[in-house]
Chains A and B, each alone.
Chain A
Amino acid sequence: MVVAPPVDPLAAWIAAALIAALFAHAAIAKLADRARLEHHLAAYGVPQAAVAALAWALPLLEGVTAGLVLTPWRPVGAVAAAALLLAYAAVMAWQRAHGRVLDCGCGGAPLAVSWALVARNVLLAALAGLAAAPPAPRALGLADFIVVVAAVMLATLLHAACNEVLRHGQRARSDPFLEKA
């Protein structure tokens, strides 16, 4: 297993809760619109035969990962989360390196694949690594719980805001009028 110095359980719990929220959202967004997911998978170059299977497997895998990081099997879930995030980052980087600009399929409003998203996924994978680290023995109280909830709320807001800002940047670049202005 991963050998890492113990971290404060609060830090590990915040990381785990953020990963769980991220993957739960991703899984729900993918399951809610499987037609769009299949469209995205095809756009990423997944062979037609595998699209239908992967359109079930990916959201299920993400849902299980989200559940696992909140259970005693947290390291397993966290490693799975990091692996998924890095795999997505690799696929996006490959597409971007070949000059292709496609919708990332990250859930929510369309957002084109960019190096910023690759960097975001690597950072999130590091966060998953933090969730996999063994926590130092310390009993958690109500205050810790409140901090975890507040941190998840804050991270959700900032994540949504970052996506919006990325979207605006892409729109400004694709519009010749705004580019000249």
Chain B
Amino acid sequence: MDAMTVSVVLLWAAVLVLGVLVWALSRQIGVLFERVAPMGALVTDAGPPVGAESPTFELNGLQSEPVFIGGAQERPTLLFFLAPTCPVCKKLIPVLKSLRRDEGRQLRIVLASDGERAEHLAFIRAQGLEPMPYVLSTELGLAYRVSRLPYAVLLDALGRVVAKGLVNTREQFDSLLNAHDLSASSIQQYLERRAA
């Protein structure tokens, strides 16, 4: 074997190894995309659009209370998607409680999540959430395309989506509730208009 043959063999080996590396790196970029996904303050424009009829659900709450989502109800419904593991959700629980105290007559608050029953029951007891219906339903989250928590959907008494979005602060909650009056469809739209 002369030098040329040896070097060609070595180069082929090197190019193949580099090919494997390029492929592996490109796959790892995909993994990084997943890891650095934004953590909040972003409305995902999926799910039933504002103004559309909400999909209807007949669910049973964790405390065996029947819960109907969508369709005509006597009061508007605030659907709040949360999880025991989400710190921002815990921060918003006092807001939910004061909301229920002040506006409970005009607004029905439904808490929604999915996962293990026992874990959620412990969460309800620890946080004192017994007065509010609490449902576990993966289908509900999928229907509204909830990808990040805490997420809120406001339905009017006819079961139409009035506003929806990610809520991280009390102000965002208020803006969501005011969204109907201000005719802004999302927190972002509301904030952008206020900033403009």
Interface residues of A (CB under 8 A from B): 147, 150, 153-154, 157-158, 160-161, 164-165, 167-168, 171-172, 175-178
Contact = CB atoms under 8 A, between A and B. Distances in A.
Contact of A168 (B15, B16, B23, B26): B26
B42 A157 contact: no
Interface string B2-46: 000000000010011001101100110110010001100010000
Contact of B26 (A147, A154, A165): A165
Nearest to A180: B38
Nearest to A163: B26
User: Binding site of B, secondary structure by majority: helix, strand, loop or mixed?
Assistant: helix
A161 B27 CA distance: 8
A153 B16 contact: yes
Contacts, number: 43
Given A161-B26, A168-B30, A171-B30, 15 more contacts: A147-B12, A150-B12, A154-B19, A157-B23, A158-B22, A160-B23, A161-B23, A164-B26, A164-B29, A165-B26, A168-B33, A171-B33, A175-B37, A175-B38, A177-B37
B interface, size bucket: 10 to 19
Interface of B: 12, 15-16, 19-20, 22-23, 26-27, 29-30, 33, 37-38, 42
Contacts of B16: 150, 153-154, 157
Contact of B20 (A157, A168, A171, A177): A157
A119 B120 CA distance: 53
Contacts of A168: 26, 29-30, 33
B118 to A, nearest CB: 35
B38 A177 contact: yes
B29 A157 contact: no
- Among A164, A165, A167, A168, find the residue whose CB has the most chain B CB atoms closer than 10 A: A164
